[in-house]
Amino acid sequence: MKTLERPRRTSGGRGLFTSFHPGSHYVSTIDEVRALVDVVITQGSFAFDVETVGVLSHHPDLTEQVDQQVKTHVEALTSTSDAITDRARENKEQAMTKTIALDPKRNEVIWVGIATNGYSWAIPVGHPCGEVLVPEEVGNGSTIPPTGHRKILKSGDESLAKARYHIPAVFADPPAQLSRAEVFEALKPIFFDHSLVKVGHNVKFDARTIAKYYGELPVGPLHDTMLVQHALDENISSFRLTSLISTNFGEHNPYSKHGKVGANISTTPFSIACNYVHLDARWTWMLYQKLIRGLTNPLRQVVEQDVRVLEVLMDMEDIGMQVDSKGLASLGEELDSKMTDVHSEITAITYPGFNPDSVKDKRLFLFSAKRDGGLGLKPNKETEKGQASVDHDSLRAMEHKHPIIPLFLNWAEYKKMKSTYVDGLLEKTNKGRLHPNFHLHRTSTGRLSSSDPNLQNVPRDSSIRGLFKADDNSLLIVADYDQIELRIMAMFSKDENMMEIFTKGIDIHTGAASLLFDKPVAEITKDERQLGKSANFLTAYGGGASKLSATSGVTLTKAREIINQYYEQFDGLSLWKHKVVMQAKKDGYVTTISGRRRRLPDINSNKDDLRSRAERQAVNAIVQGSASDICKKAMIKVHPKVRSFGGKLLVQVHDELVVNVPDNDRVDYYSGIIKEEMGHGKDLNNVPIVVSSQSGYTWSEAK
């Protein structure tokens, strides 16, 4: 039940909460919202959190998708009945509802939680249920279900067999709540105040979610507990709020007992949901205070850079990238017909029911003895777990042994395209656009990552990238750093030969080949350059002769020679790598240009494999992480410039930025600005930075 208790400041503790039991008070009048706004403004910063649900009926396109899913699901079954179809539909609808709840473009807010020094508020704006009248009942299969929940036999009688069953809870009506419209209107002063710091745990989600009710994104400064925690420890496996609370405040805290309310918020009794919202906001605030106070330089600057990137990313996610849905659909049909052909050929050679997606089936068919019905081929490669590999490289090496192998290769190629890039992207399309999530906390090197969909691994092939389009009357500009990682290595190591190659503007792979084979640059062949290229990459990743030999096709002996020669010619580089490893062993971590750290717990391990791996990671983290620092810095600079001429930053792919700009006669000027802000023409301690750019109407034209 609602209480009339007013929010009050809890005492002591530098403004933090001393009581972890916020009770059941919830905000139910607009005056209370106005009052909390006044309090928040005096504090200068606040944490906030929204609880969301998905409403399938609001999204006809997704309802259609569910219909389709049910159809294909049922088609794949051997037997069907209305009950099976209904259950399939229920499952698919439930899954889709969850998906919608996590999509800021589609979800609906039912609670807003706000916390600042000593205060927290829970504002319900559509919680669907009150208290529990009849609790839910779950049968785990060890008992006979109650009548009405039993299976119906063919005879028409109820089955008395033990079975699983679920009877949903019955809830009282929820109490009267303010509307979203009036609440967000009243909260406008805090979300659009340029001096208030708005803190969240994965704040982009909450900010983008509420943006729907304003028609625009909340303004910065934003801050995020995830990103601070990541700067302090990138090796954390779970960045969920509960996990971070446990590690920062100890295992025993009232929050951790609440379990997964968030995912089931719409079937949680009102009072429990209310308490949960208080706690979420409070703990986010507490965590922020604690983490931010633990930050010292250089990590403080790292976090300062990342929160600025965060605001850029929020914009990029919200804008999204246009994709040609019709083109994707027709590519899908093309692939489908190719796959039908390949599949029937495979079935003809193997047996009906053979599944070309099953590693097990393929393994059995290729490698089991002829008398067992297999081809008796010899596996040439093992998986990590020591099984016979059937991946592309492995099959390629035995391609001529049997006509089925090219079919497997074709199948795998088509299948990947169809499932991940055609179907996968189509189902994430919203009004013709894809809105990825960019994460600042999911890599150990400080790179960004992208998901739902991942726009950082879209195939370069024009059949896919050609379907990513500029907006109407627009062009895409793709600007990318030329060999940024190798330039960073040159900068750190000050290797004379490498510096010379870069300062003279010689192609680095040709330059390396020239030194490796002791020939003038002009006489380097294509093959020699390729070897130079492979050798260059190996140094950034820490690879050895066997890998070089495997990737370039030279003998192991030759590969060893090349690597020895490489480190002789680039002796500054090998010295630097050695120093990096020594320093990492001493400190337990390495540091990038911006001061980000990668901690390497295994760097002094007794186990050779773990230690060697950590040593390779040490070198690579500096290189990869520093490249990421540079690109992040560029994003911060490019973003406002691009907006000033009506452009939109869309995607970052580690060393490249994709920008949508107006299609007019100033495109060269736009490219120039973008390149300049990325640092083209500047240098890293005398190693020049080179940025190249191209433009076009699609992502493949602009590559």
Which parts of this chain interact with DNA (CB under 7 A)? Answer: 91, 355, 357-361, 383-387, 389-394, 412-413, 415-416, 419-420, 423-424, 439, 442-445, 447, 449-454, 456-461, 537-538, 541-547, 551, 608-609, 612-613, 616-617, 620-621, 624, 653-656
CB of 503 to DNA, least distance (A): 23
Are the CB atoms for 661 and 475 separated by under 8 Å? yes
Task: Using the minimum distance from each CB to DNA, give the nearer residue, 304 or 461.
Answer: 461
β-sheet bridge partners, residue 479: 657, 693
Task: Using the minimum distance from each CB to DNA, give the nearer residue, 91 or 256.
Answer: 91
Task: Using the minimum distance from each CB to DNA, give the nearer residue, 113 or 543.
Answer: 543
Q: Which two tokens stand for residue 211?
A: 């943006």
CB of 448 to DNA, least distance (A): 9
Amino acid at 496: E
Are the CB atoms for 308 and 224 separated by under 8 Å? no
CB of 450 to DNA, least distance (A): 6
CB of 268 to DNA, least distance (A): 17
CB of 555 to DNA, least distance (A): 13
- Percentages of the chain per state (helix, strand, coil), in multiples of 5: 50, 15, 35
Task: Using the minimum distance from each CB to DNA, give the nearer residue, 102 or 197.
Answer: 102
Q: Is 604 helix (H, G, I), strand (E, B) or coil?
A: coil
- List of long-range contacts for 239-244, beta carbons under 8 Å, 24+ apart: 239/441, 241/201, 241/280, 241/283, 241/284, 241/287, 244/201, 244/287
Task: Using the minimum distance from each CB to DNA, give the nearer residue, 117 or 620.
Answer: 620
C-alpha to C-alpha distance for 338 and 407, rounded to whole angstroms:
11
Task: Using the minimum distance from each CB to DNA, give the nearer residue, 429 or 617.
Answer: 617
Task: Using the minimum distance from each CB to DNA, give the nearer residue, 303 or 388.
Answer: 388
β-sheet bridge partners, residue 430: 433
CB of 458 to DNA, least distance (A): 6
Residue showing tokens 């433009």: 695
Task: Using the minimum distance from each CB to DNA, give the nearer residue, 30 or 359.
Answer: 359
CB of 428 to DNA, least distance (A): 8
CB of 581 to DNA, least distance (A): 12
C-alpha to C-alpha distance for 69 and 65, rounded to whole angstroms:
6
C-alpha to C-alpha distance for 493 and 527, rounded to whole angstroms:
27
CB of 88 to DNA, least distance (A): 10
CB of 348 to DNA, least distance (A): 19
List the one residue out of 656, 665, 660, 646 whose CA is nearest residue 695.
660
β-sheet bridge partners, residue 199: 47, 223
Taking CA atoms, 136 is separated from 53, 133, 165, 270, 283, in Å, by 20, 10, 11, 15, 29
**Which residues make Cβ contacts (< 8 Å) with residue 310, sequence separation at least 6?**
203, 204, 222, 224, 227, 440
Are the CB atoms for 138 and 166 separated by under 8 Å? yes
CA end-to-end span of the chain: 60
Task: Using the minimum distance from each CB to DNA, give the nearer residue, 188 or 338.
Answer: 338
- Check residue 446 and give left, alpha or beta (phi > 0: left; psi -120 to 50: alpha): left
Residue showing tokens 């240098």: 683
CB of 406 to DNA, least distance (A): 12
CB of 41 to DNA, least distance (A): 36
CB of 627 to DNA, least distance (A): 8
Task: Using the minimum distance from each CB to DNA, give the nearer residue, 525 or 546.
Answer: 546
CB of 538 to DNA, least distance (A): 6
Task: Using the minimum distance from each CB to DNA, give the nearer residue, 93 or 361.
Answer: 361
3-state SS, 152-165, equals ECCCCCECCCCCEE
Name the phi and psi angles at 122, rounded to 5: -120, 120
* Burial class (CB within 10 angstroms; exposed 0-12, middle 13-18, buried 19+) of 505: exposed
β-sheet bridge partners, residue 606: none
Name the phi and psi angles at 392, rounded to 5: -55, -50
Task: Using the minimum distance from each CB to DNA, give the nearer residue, 65 or 449.
Answer: 449
- Give the ranges where 398-495 is alpha helix by DSSP (H): 404-416, 424-426, 462-465, 484-493
Task: Using the minimum distance from each CB to DNA, give the nearer residue, 386 or 520.
Answer: 386
Task: Using the minimum distance from each CB to DNA, give the nearer residue, 47 or 540.
Answer: 540
Are the CB atoms for 383 and 372 separated by under 8 Å? no
C-alpha to C-alpha distance for 456 and 459, rounded to whole angstroms:
9
Q: Which two tokens stand for residue 581?
A: 């490893």
